[in-house]
Structure 1
Amino acid sequence: MADAFPQRIVCLTEEPTEVLYALGEQQRIVGISGFTVRPPRARREKPKVSAFTSAKIGEILKLEPDLVIGFSDIQADIARELVKAGIEVWISNHRSVDGILAYIRRLGAMVGAHEKAEVYARRAEQHITDIRVAAAQLPHRPKVYFEEWDEPIITGIRWVAELVQIAGGEDCFPELAREPLAKQRILANGDEVVRRAPDIILGSWCGKRFRPEKVAVRPGWEAIPAVRDGELHEIKSPIILQPGPAALFDGLDAIHRIIVAWAGRPG
């Protein structure tokens, strides 16, 4: 009996690639995003046919996909071109930890791997629970400012703020984290960060290296506890800015380690 599920999938972002490899369904993938780094073998095994806001439509069509998977309104133009060409497209738009877990389950079901996806999602849920329990033992919860971009200054998206909370911190801009679009999370200047006085600054500038020395010399920022104490840390963008498994495992772990180290500082 022929497989009734998609056989030739193009992944326009990293998270479907990571999930399908984790489920042992990587044979279905025929093309990936050029930004894919997880798992490393995907870059060696699969042709790269897209960036994030652009894609090689002609190359994708040559692959004859029966499903293309992307993420968010930012890929709407790519999706429209593929739909016009007769390709089936799924654009997910999840922005929360629960959304990531649901995404794993939904994608698993779409490729006939519901049971494997359920096991994987429960493993992620257990990891989240373990970190939450460990964080509850910390003597203090630091205020954490997460910066997604520097010019203009963009604060962290919802799943990042939720992971900060799970890891033992308090996100400095919870009201902005609820905004799904980056343009809605732009700060006019850094004054409000100074006023909210974070204990820890986490930076993940999408696509480029975080420069703590540049952040530290922003006007007035010398008064911020995180700057005063040297608590400026980079979280690599592939493990935190993709709404997929990496954020729930490696991203969460990285934030938790930083918070634990802060909590253990003398004085």
Structure 2
Amino acid sequence: MDGFPQRIVCLTEEPTEVLYALGEQGRIVGISGFTVRPPRARKEKPKVSAFTSAKIGEILKLEPDLAIGFSDIQADIARELIKAGVEVWISNHRSVDGILAYIRRLGAMVGAHDKAEAYAQRAEAHIAQIRAAASALARRPRVYFEEWDEPIITGIRWVAELIGIAGGQDAFPELAREPLARQRILADGGEVVRRAPDIILGSWCGKRFRPEKVAARPGWEAIPAVRDGAVYEVKSPIILQPGPAALFDGLAEIHRIIAAWAAQR
């Protein structure tokens, strides 16, 4: 026993990914059913939660000394666990800097400060590398990111920031600052037409993005991205979790798309 949490339940994917990356996966006793990174976690750990619901009884049987979740959406789960005597940490970060701070904070919480610092610095080096590559692009395309389709929800802050790092310009920067999904609903899809993005990226949480459905929306044929066939899916596990996946694979994928677009101009 080292005085740090020994039996951790991860209610979302990002703490699982971080703890595995730090070599601290032995502390995890339960994970989210949505966890896909790292793949081995699904084989090794019991799945005890979704995103807005959890098997409270199953979690308590695991006798956790810490449960880690994310955002106000998991407030009800946190309340039930706290009432049952479980210590809970709900992070609420929404930015690239917030993700980096999260890695460092989580590492410190399990006594792995040095490993977490090294991992965060790896992420920062990757970000710097992509930023430098993006600075060499001749043009910075306007990029519209869609998080959901019915209703239309635009991208959250860390996604908008990653678009900027990767060489693009987020089409809805004023909405990206809004932390809650309901605050980023577009009442009028025609606003996307008016902003004329060069690239459309989609990641519909929990279901496959359908470029043909986007292109078929009334009036959207006038959008440069639709006209030029620049409508792409970014898989949700690498972009919609505020954790390492977004900083590494998500950023790399967005930059790949933007760089390919710029090379054709």
Q: What TM-score comes out, normalization by structure 1 length?
A: 0.99
Task: Name the counterpart of 1:127.
Answer: 126
In structure 1, what is the Cα distance between the partners aligned to 2:213 and 2:191? 18
In structure 2, what is the Cα distance between the partners aligned to 1:158 and 1:33? 23
Deviation string, structure 1 residues 157-216 (Cα, Å, up to 9, x no partner): 000000000000000000000000000000012110000000000000000000000000
Task: Name the counterpart of 1:101.
Answer: 100
Q: What is the letter of the counterpart of residue 4 of structure 2?
A: F
SS at match of 1:49: strand
In structure 2, what is the Cα distance between the partners aligned to 1:264 and 1:221? 24
Q: What is the letter of the counterpart of residue 137 of structure 1?
A: A
- Compute the displacement of 1:3 (Å): 1.1
Task: Name the counterpart of 2:25.
Answer: 26
In structure 1, what is the Cα distance between the partners aligned to 2:206 and 2:237? 9
In structure 1, what is the Cα distance between the partners aligned to 2:86 and 2:215? 48
In structure 1, what is the Cα distance between the partners aligned to 2:152 and 2:174? 16
Map 1:40-55 → 2, pairs under 5 A: 40-55=39-54
- Compute the displacement of 1:135 (Å): 0.1
RMSD: 0.4
Task: Name the counterpart of 2:244.
Answer: 245
In structure 2, what is the Cα distance between the partners aligned to 1:265 and 1:132? 20
Map 1:71-90 → 2, pairs under 5 A: 71-90=70-89
In structure 1, what is the Cα distance between the partners aligned to 2:201 and 2:188? 17
In structure 1, what is the Cα distance between the partners aligned to 2:201 and 2:57? 39
Deviation string, structure 1 residues 108-164 (Cα, Å, up to 9, x no partner): 000000000000000000000000000000000000000000000000000000000
Q: What is the letter of the counterpart of residue 182 of structure 1?
A: A
In structure 2, what is the Cα distance between the partners aligned to 1:223 and 1:264? 22
Task: Name the counterpart of 1:229.
Answer: 228
Task: Name the counterpart of 2:151.
Answer: 152
Does the alignment pair 1:56 with 2:55?
yes
In structure 2, what is the Cα distance between the partners aligned to 1:264 and 1:228? 17
Task: Name the counterpart of 2:5.
Answer: 6
Over 6 Å off, 4+ runs: none
Task: Name the counterpart of 1:196.
Answer: 195
In structure 1, what is the Cα distance between the partners aligned to 2:129 and 2:96? 15
In structure 2, what is the Cα distance between the partners aligned to 1:232 and 1:48? 34
Task: Name the counterpart of 1:112.
Answer: 111
In structure 1, what is the Cα distance between the partners aligned to 2:80 and 2:252? 38
- How many percent of aligned residue pairs carry the same amino acid? 86
Tell which deviates more after alignment, 257-266 or 32-41.
257-266
SS at match of 1:187: coil
In structure 1, what is the Cα distance between the partners aligned to 2:187 and 2:218? 14
How many aligned positions are there?
265
In structure 1, what is the Cα distance between the partners aligned to 2:232 and 2:248? 18
Q: What is the letter of the counterpart of residue 171 of structure 1?
A: D
Q: What is the letter of the counterpart of residue 134 of structure 2?
A: A
Q: What is the letter of the counterpart of residue 178 of structure 1?
A: R
In structure 1, what is the Cα distance between the partners aligned to 2:247 and 2:186? 27
Task: Name the counterpart of 2:210.
Answer: 211
Q: What is the letter of the counterpart of residue 181 of structure 2?
A: A
Task: Name the counterpart of 2:142.
Answer: 143
Task: Name the counterpart of 1:261.
Answer: 260
Q: What is the letter of the counterpart of residue 250 of structure 1?
A: D
In structure 2, what is the Cα distance between the partners aligned to 1:241 and 1:52? 13
| Uncovered stretches (5+) of structure 2, i.e. residues with no partner | none
In structure 2, what is the Cα distance between the partners aligned to 1:15 and 1:52? 12
In structure 2, what is the Cα distance between the partners aligned to 1:205 and 1:33? 19
